[in-house]
Amino acid sequence: MREESLAGGHGGAARLGELIPVALGAMAAGVAERGGPVPAGGPAAVAAALTAAGGGTGTLPRTGVGAERALAELSHLLAAGSADPADPACAAHLHCPPLAVSVAADVVASALNPSMDSWDQAPVASELERAFTTGIARLCYPDAPGADAVVTSGGTESNLLGLLLAREAAPGVPVRPVCGANAHHSVARAAWLLGLPAPVVVPCEDDRVLPAALAGALAAVDGPAVVVATAGTTNTGAIDPLPEIAALCRRAGARLHVDAAYGGMALCGPELRSRLAGLDQADSVALDMHKFGWQPVAAGLLAARETGDLAALSVRAEYLNADDDTEAGLPDLLGRSIRTSRRPDAFRMAVTLRALGTDGIGALVERCCATASDVAALVAEHPGLRLLAPPALSTVVFRPVAADELPEPDEFVAGVRRTLLEAGTGVIGRAALPTGPDGAPRLWLKLTLLHPHATVEDYRALLEKVVATADAERAAAPGSPVVS
Amino acid sequence: MREESLAGGHGGAARLGELIPVALGAMAAGVAERGGPVPAGGPAAVAAALTAAGGGTGTLPRTGVGAERALAELSHLLAAGSADPADPACAAHLHCPPLAVSVAADVVASALNPSMDSWDQAPVASELERAFTTGIARLCYPDAPGADAVVTSGGTESNLLGLLLAREAAPGVPVRPVCGANAHHSVARAAWLLGLPAPVVVPCEDDRVLPAALAGALAAVDGPAVVVATAGTTNTGAIDPLPEIAALCRRAGARLHVDAAYGGMALCGPELRSRLAGLDQADSVALDMHKFGWQPVAAGLLAARETGDLAALSVRAEYLNADDDTEAGLPDLLGRSIRTSRRPDAFRMAVTLRALGTDGIGALVERCCATASDVAALVAEHPGLRLLAPPALSTVVFRPVAADELPEPDEFVAGVRRTLLEAGTGVIGRAALPTGPDGAPRLWLKLTLLHPHATVEDYRALLEKVVATADAERAAAPGSPVVS
């Protein structure tokens, strides 16, 4: 019976008070066992660890081992085998270390399990979500009192909604997505999912859309268009020239969706906010609090200027939002998402905002960006490294200069990254950017700094590992010059 | 600095060990304050409680109050204002009370925050997911050793994937969805999202697709078709005649997707399993472990007979799954979902399965279904209630007989439900079913029994509340007979 205990109701908190310490104890032991940012040995070692823990059979167990043992064993395994963004050397992706306050709030959300598809499954959770999403919408659209936002599973779903709203705004006519070469892959994927034409891709310079090229592209589109601009690209953190893009869209009668999944929460930072000027001219904005916002995945948002702009999401299901229930005053939640059952992710976002305030979040964002500037300066001064450009947000893009002397520099760069990953000493990102001859793609390394407490010294150590690895691989490469 | 503490890394477990008890203490106090299954007073009272807690302003706070205070205040608010499925009187929807073991496991997943879009963000989490989803796929397709499954945000996304796979299997030709009148609303919504024609809707009898009608519908479709059958309808839990439907699809060359979001986990029950005969003939199957499976939302799955059947989800993004990384042995995760960043929901599902085994889950499913049969018997014997039909799974559909004498019986039924909800004494579902003259829709009440420990006595008390409320409203209704 014990492993069947429920998390909610009158005994739930007590049972969680027994089980969670078991899980946390095993997690702490697993973190200690791992030591570094990621387990050493690559996929083979990780798969072997899973097998050793009895978890890799591909057959569900018929009989159980009980809650305590399952939690202890698998929590240890997960912690030992994770790439932990709370380690500064885990800096590849827009993959943040969550704040403890958000994780603690999530326990209550999980235990009570409000489902956001009808009021009678989520009475106060839905009211809280409304208040929170209104706050987010007003952050994006400070001059639009009717601004509104919905919660999504991340930037990918938010971008899909941005294109969906554009599609539905022009019924019967296929709307054409137009985006920069710097846009996230989810834009093209959303077009595919929605049955829209593939996006027209506009050239970029320094990872930013070229307004003149966008103007040309819009002139060539026959019929309605939706432009997707980016405020914080995945590769470099670059922010598109939003005011110019918004002006072009107005002139062409095109809709504008801004993918601010990375950069959006910089609106909370007094120094950084001005970089997002023009964001409020978008028809819709994607944000992700699982990037800057320090939430566990998922914490996506889509904001729009008016509640009515989201009307395309409306849907009726007699058992969830019958007309007579809505008329009787039960709020209709179903049109707030393309999902049905939906976790109250807004709860932990709201708790986090109440704990830190927008000032607190903004300070963390600015700290990460300031650290990135300092790290970029380190790179620029380092004889073994080359910096791509000063960071626009918190992404530092660089290459070991050792690559330059080799016939296959990109393979070398990719190899250095994999060596560090396999060794378990560094999790570093990669970015293909058009910096080769005639704009050919060249591979760069990147650090995406989302750790709010990491210092430039942490990253100095990581950069030295990159240089040492590059030097070692350069020395071992066939045809390498003999070191005298 | 304290409210900025991270959940992962070396100090994470310790900080969570301080904060989670704060949240759980507040949750327990909120549960006690609520008393019943849902807060009394309806939307107005809940909104007032939020305002009183300072949370309803629609403006994000600039300054924070710290982690402890934010957690204590909002966790109390959420618990006091939730519809808690751990209370047996909260029985409206496919909205389960989560198991404590799953919630505890989720803490570790949240803290370490693996993101399932690349191996270097989720080394062991991705291996665990693979093992778990393979196990689920083999549960659905016991004779297909290459069966595979992916994790989704729920039945709605799983149904969308089912239609998407059908769309991609017939490139360039619009595939026509065909489903029963009993199908979930997400089927039509998925067709809309994907740019497919609206589904052809096939008549049902007793909430099950009529095979003869399906045969006719398939004969009338010009071009490829995908049939969506349901194993556990939302209204009554009915299971479509899967073997007959599969045979018709084979004959017509149509694909078959089965929405087993409700019924799928009955595969774990030795008594119930046979009701799902024919499921393994589907091209794809939707399951939800946030229904039978006792997971917090979300815990959706989509299974297919072969890994290659999921190939339409493949996508390349240089920074996540570059060809050279994949060739070097880094598993490609991006094609396992239409999302990008993705929470490791498989972790808590796998921990739950290890704790209870499929036998343990199956026993819980069968207990709920047995209780539903007993409750149905109570209803059938009760002079104030009418039973629709014996339950197919764990849904009991009924009406107060008092409705029969009234000119607007559906309004009366809907009103009884809302009165119980507003009073905070019962959360009961509704279902419109074609039981009126000439198949006109009539409104019924339903109990969806997903509480594994609730007994028939719990539901007897709830049914008496329904009868008492109906009698009181009947007596108060205009033109009601004077009680002598």
Per-residue pLDDT of chain B (484 residues; tens, 9 = 90+): 688 999 999 999 999 999 999 999 999 999 999 999 999 999 999 999 999 998 888 899 999 999 999 999 999 999 999 999 999 999 999 999 999 999 999 999 999 999 999 999 999 999 999 999 999 999 999 999 999 999 999 999 999 999 999 999 999 899 999 999 999 999 999 999 999 999 999 999 999 999 999 999 999 999 999 999 999 999 999 999 999 999 999 999 999 999 999 999 999 999 999 999 999 999 999 999 999 999 999 999 999 999 999 999 999 999 999 999 999 999 999 999 999 999 999 999 999 999 999 999 999 999 999 999 999 999 999 999 999 999 999 999 999 999 998 999 999 999 999 999 999 999 999 999 999 999 999 999 999 999 999 999 999 999 999 999 999 999 987 665 544 4
Q: Is any Cβ of chain A less than 8 angstroms from the Cβ of B427?
A: yes
Q: Are A45 and A421 within 8 A, CB to CB?
A: no
Please check whether residues A339 and A469 belong to one and the same domain: no
Range of the domain at B288: 108-356
Domain end residue (candidates: A30, A64, A81): A81
Contact A414 B325 (CB under 8 A): yes
| Rounded-to-integer distance, Cα B158 and Cα A424, Å | 35
Which residues, listed in sequence order, are joined to residue B209 by a DSSP beta bridge?
B204
Which residues, listed in sequence order, are joined to residue B444 by a DSSP beta bridge?
B431
Listed residue (B428, B310, B304) closest to B375, CA to CA:
B428
ipTM: 0.98
Please check whether residues B123 and B230 belong to one and the same domain: yes
Residue A402 in domain:
yes
Q: Are A58 and B144 within 8 A, CB to CB?
A: no
Please check whether residues A32 and A139 belong to one and the same domain: no
Please check whether residues B48 and B113 belong to one and the same domain: no
Residue B31 in domain:
yes
Give CA separation, B267 vs A4, A461, B141, B292, in Å: 19, 53, 11, 11
| Rounded-to-integer distance, Cα B99 and Cα B79, Å | 16
Q: Which of B340, B413, B420 to mutate to test the interface with A (most CBs of A within 10 A)?
A: B340
Which residues, listed in sequence order, are joined to residue A179 by a DSSP beta bridge?
A201, A228
Reported as a single tens digit per residue, the pLDDT across B48-57 is 999 999 888 8
Place of tokens 């070191």: A483
In chain B, the number of structural domains is 3
Please check whether residues A230 and A377 belong to one and the same domain: no
Contact B55 A453 (CB under 8 A): no
Helices (H) and strands (E) in chain B, counts: 14, 13
Listed residue (B69, B80, B113, B21) closest to A352, CA to CA:
B69
Please check whether residues B137 and B41 belong to one and the same domain: no
Reported as a single tens digit per residue, the pLDDT across A265-294 is 999 999 999 999 999 999 999 999 999 999
Residue A4 in domain:
no
Please check whether residues B255 and B351 belong to one and the same domain: yes
Reported as a single tens digit per residue, the pLDDT across A356-392 is 999 999 999 999 999 999 999 999 999 999 999 999 9
Q: Which of A319, A323, A365, A417 to mutate to test the interface with B (most CBs of B within 10 A)?
A: A319
| Rounded-to-integer distance, Cα B151 and Cα A300, Å | 18
Output the pLDDT for position B56: 81
Residue A86 in domain:
no
Residue A203 in domain:
yes
| Rounded-to-integer distance, Cα A279 and Cα A273, Å | 10
Please check whether residues A424 and A339 belong to one and the same domain: no
CA distance B79 to chain A (A): 7
Output the pLDDT for position A1: 62
Domain end residue (candidates: A325, A356, A387): A356
Output the pLDDT for position B328: 94
Other beta carbons within 10 Å of A145: 11
| Rounded-to-integer distance, Cα A400 and Cα A413, Å | 7
Residue A400 in domain:
yes
Output the pLDDT for position B415: 97
Contact A102 B125 (CB under 8 A): no
Region at A7 (left for phi over 0; alpha for psi -120 to 50; beta for the rest): alpha
The single-letter code of the amino acid at A93 is H
Output the pLDDT for position B267: 98
Kindly identify which residue of chain B lies nearest to residue A411, measuring between CA atoms: B324
Residue B92 in domain:
no
CATH number, domain containing residue A379:
3.90.1150.10
Query: For chain A, what is the mean pLDDT?
Result: 96
Mean pLDDT, range A250-257, rounded to an integer: 98
Mean pLDDT, range A203-229, rounded to an integer: 98
| Rounded-to-integer distance, Cα A379 and Cα A366, Å | 20
CATH number, domain containing residue B159:
3.40.640.10
Residue A90 in domain:
no
Contact A4 B360 (CB under 8 A): yes
Please check whether residues A396 and A364 belong to one and the same domain: yes
pLDDT band at A483 (very low <50, low <70, confident <90, very high): very low
Please check whether residues A243 and A156 belong to one and the same domain: yes
Residue with the bigger pLDDT between A483 and B204: it is B204
Cα B421 to chain centroid distance, Å, stands at 21
Q: Which of B34, B108, B301 to mutate to test the interface with A (most CBs of A within 10 A)?
A: B108
Mean pLDDT, range A69-78, rounded to an integer: 98
Mean pLDDT, range A137-142, rounded to an integer: 98
Please check whether residues B216 and B304 belong to one and the same domain: yes
Residues 304-333 of B with CB under 8 A from A: 315-319, 322, 324-325, 328-331
Please check whether residues B133 and B62 belong to one and the same domain: no
| Rounded-to-integer distance, Cα B371 and Cα A226, Å | 53
Domain end residue (candidates: A339, A356, A373): A356
Q: What is the DSSP letter of A152?
A: E
Q: Is any Cβ of chain A less than 8 angstroms from the Cβ of B185?
A: yes
Listed residue (B353, B351, B290) closest to B104, CA to CA:
B351
Output the pLDDT for position A484: 41
Q: Name the CA dihedral angle for A192, A195, A199, A200, rounded to a multiple of 10 degrees.
A: 140
Output the pLDDT for position B483: 47
